């Protein structure tokens, strides 16, 4: 009959060997990942052409120090839009997933992950917070730098909320407010800000409103050549006319037509 203590000792020895081998393998994985993280190309260098990459490389800026630093370096004093934030996050997603999957295995075997791995995971989870802090500072810088413009671009100074909605460079900006509270003034201020501060060509700006009265008011208050307000219908008719050379005929008195029908 087999000697049970010897079998038990052998099994323990085998298990310890497996554990030791696994620890060695995990440590090697952690070292490789740490080296990989320290060699992540910066987000900025990944978006530019070869000549610019060479210039950045010459300044020893081709590798990301960490996510927070890379974000500030890549965007500088520019507003980060929702889509840009998502693109930036996607750039680091694979690195994060690899680190996040490895850390529980390391801890299960009593191995502490390196600071580079821990920081990557922490910063990745805080990208949205980092972006909010960055954008808050960018907006404040714009408000401070262009204070005189906002004080005098209309007949009266714009309030804080109006100014913040104007300097926001988000792809979409929703302003919710009651009647007579200054939404149209915000639009006028935004257009003047784009033309006078951002140097945008007025012909590249499209003003849309729901009613003829509101569209006419926008055109009048702007007073800028080449810039006018449209309703959705007027814009559509003009586009059809430009492309076909013939505008569709529209019934003038729809109420009477409905009554007759």
Per residue in 22-53, pLDDT tens?
A: 888 889 999 999 999 988 888 987 765 544 45
Helices (H), 171-224: 183-192, 212-222
Q: What is the pLDDT of residue 155?
A: 87
Per-residue pLDDT tens over the stretch 76-120: 999 999 999 999 999 999 999 999 999 999 998 888 999 999 999
- Residue, of 237 and 59, whose pLDDT is higher: 237
Which residues in 191-210 are b (16+ Cβ under 10 Å) and which e?
Answer: bbbbbebeeeeeeebebebe
Task: Read off φ and ψ for residue 169, nearest 5 degrees.
Answer: -110, 25
pLDDT at 56 over 50: no
Whole-angstrom Cα Rg for the chain: 30
Banded pLDDT at 2 (limits 50, 70, 90) = low
| pTM of the predicted structure, to 2 decimals | 0.75
Kindly report which listed range (16-20, 130-134, 136-140, 213-217) carries the lowest average pLDDT score: 16-20
């Amino acid at each position: 009959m087999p000697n049970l203590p010897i079998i038990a000792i052998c099994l323990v020895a085998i298990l310890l060997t497996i554990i030791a081998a696994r620890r060695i393998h995990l440590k090697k994985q952690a070292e490789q990942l740490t080296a990989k993280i320290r060699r992540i190309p910066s987000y900025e260098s990944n978006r530019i052409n070869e000549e610019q990459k060479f210039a950045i490389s010459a300044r020893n800026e081709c590798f990301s120090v960490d996510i927070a630093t890379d974000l500030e370096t890549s965007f500088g004093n520019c507003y980060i839009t929702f889509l840009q934030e998502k693109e930036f996050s996607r750039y680091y997603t694979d690195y994060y997933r690899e680190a996040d999957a490895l850390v529980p295995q390391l801890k299960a075997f009593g191995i502490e992950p390196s600071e580079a791995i821990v920081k990557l995971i922490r910063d990745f989870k805080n990208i949205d917070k980092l972006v909010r802090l960055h954008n808050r500072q960018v907006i404040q810088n714009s408000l401070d730098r262009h204070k005189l413009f906002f004080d005098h671009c209309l007949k009266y100074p714009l309030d804080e909320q109006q100014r913040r909605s104007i300097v926001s460079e988000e792809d979409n900006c929703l302003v919710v407010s009651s009647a007579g509270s200054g939404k149209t003034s915000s639009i006028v201020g935004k257009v003047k800000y784009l033309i006078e501060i951002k140097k945008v060509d007025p012909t590249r700006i499209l003003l849309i409103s729901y009613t003829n009265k509101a569209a006419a008011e926008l055109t009048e208050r702007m007073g800028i050549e080449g810039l006018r307000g449209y309703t959705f219908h007027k814009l559509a008719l003009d586009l059809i006319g430009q492309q076909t050379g013939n505008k569709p005929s529209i019934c003038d008195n729809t109420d009477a037509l409905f009554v007759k029908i």
